[in-house]
């Protein structure tokens, strides 16, 4: 019953995310239009999804005036939106990287523990050093990214990953909702340099710029809802298959040991049989 309840919760949440209805406006935030709209919605909507064992400490979304995105040498009319995209993609990428490292490490430690039950110790001697080598590499990768590998209770951590990514997606969606009101202001659609404003814009072009910005934000919200379940599904498939993959490697090593033992046991018998046949031929 518990397993069914967990599966139902995951499926329900993914359905809501894919339909784009999960992170809607919250009436308790009133008519907020400044950056407090974002913080209010995060507190009232997103906190319920927050994991108590996050694998990565995500970067927070800055207020639009303080955002400093990378434009790769190109001028942007929507710096706060570009900065939000960059932060979101980096946060999500690192959450999945850290989760993959944690899933691999938990699975390898579990398999290493199982090797200790083998009475002869041959299997541990054959493949145990490979597990230790992989664990050391995972620790180095985790330290490089800044992962907090706190989810060690179980091999499968997909529910915790779902909480982390849902919380991050919720924060980003509400940041985009805030940007709608932010870019509704004419001043926030213009560069800081007054000379460039006079040279680039005519009075009738400003409403068009605002409309184009709203379209960009709407497209980014739609894209976020669309990609979220696809990325999570890909992660769950990886998490399911990794322990099986390495278990097959252990089975192969065990088979090689068995083959060696059979060779050592049967070869003298085979040699004796050949000697008997040769003796009888004379």
Q: What is the pLDDT of residue 212?
A: 82
For residue 235, what is the enclosing H or E element?
helix 205-281
- The model's pTM: 0.73
CA 126 – CA 118 distance, rounded (Å)? 12
Q: Calculate helix-pair angle for 2-19, 158-182, nearest 10 degrees.
A: 20
Q: What is the pLDDT of residue 198?
A: 43
- Kindly list the averaged pLDDT for each block of 10 residues, start to end, along the chain of length 282: 50 51 62 76 89 89 55 59 90 94 87 71 71 90 89 76 94 89 66 48 62 87 94 90 73 66 65 65 64
Q: What is the pLDDT of residue 132?
A: 87
Phi-psi domain of 148 (left: phi exceeds 0; alpha: psi -120 through 50; beta: other): beta
Q: Locate tokens 């870019």: which residue?
A: 183
Establish how many alpha carbons lie within 13 A of residue 13's alpha carbon, considering only the half-sphere containing its beta carbon: 22
For residue 197, what is the enclosing H or E element?
helix 194-200
CB 233 within 8 A of CB 98: no
Residue 73 phi, psi dihedral angles, 5° rounding? 85, 5
Distance of CA 58 to the CA centre of its chain: 12
Q: What is the pLDDT of residue 272?
A: 62
Q: List the beta bridge partners of residue 147.
A: 56
Q: What is the pLDDT of residue 205?
A: 61
Q: What is the pLDDT of residue 70?
A: 41
Q: What is the pLDDT of residue 275?
A: 63
Q: What is the pLDDT of residue 36?
A: 81
Q: What is the pLDDT of residue 140?
A: 93
């Amino acid at each position: 019953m518990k397993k069914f309840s967990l599966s139902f919760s995951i499926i329900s949440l993914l359905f809501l995310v894919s339909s784009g209805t999960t992170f809607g406006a919250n009436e308790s935030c009133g008519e907020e239009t400044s950056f407090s709209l974002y913080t209010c919605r995060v507190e009232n909507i997103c906190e319920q999804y927050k994991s108590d064992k996050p694998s990565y400490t995500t970067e927070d979304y800055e207020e639009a005036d303080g955002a400093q995105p990378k434009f790769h040498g190109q001028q942007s009319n929507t710096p706060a939106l570009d900065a939000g995209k960059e932060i979101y993609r980096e946060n999500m990428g690192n959450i999945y990287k850290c989760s993959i490292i944690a899933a691999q490490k938990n699975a390898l430690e579990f398999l290493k523990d199982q090797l200790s039950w083998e009475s002869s110790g041959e299997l541990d001697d054959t493949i145990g050093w490979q597990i230790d080598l992989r664990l050391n590499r995972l620790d180095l990768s985790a330290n490089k990214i800044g992962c907090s590998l706190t989810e060690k209770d179980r091999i499968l951590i997909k529910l915790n990953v779902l909480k982390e990514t849902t919380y991050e997606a919720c924060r980003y969606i509400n940041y985009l909702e805030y940007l709608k009101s932010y870019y509704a202001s004419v001043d926030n659609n213009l560069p800081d340099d007054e000379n460039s404003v006079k040279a680039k814009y005519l009075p009738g072009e400003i409403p068009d710029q605002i409309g184009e910005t709203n379209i960009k934000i709407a497209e980014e919200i739609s894209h976020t809802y669309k990609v979220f379940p696809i990325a999570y599904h890909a992660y769950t498939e990886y998490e399911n298959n990794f322990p099986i993959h390495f278990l097959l490697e252990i089975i192969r090593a065990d088979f090689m040991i068995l083959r060696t033992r059979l060779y050592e046991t049967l070869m003298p018998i085979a040699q004796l049989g050949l000697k008997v046949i040769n003796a009888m031929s004379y």
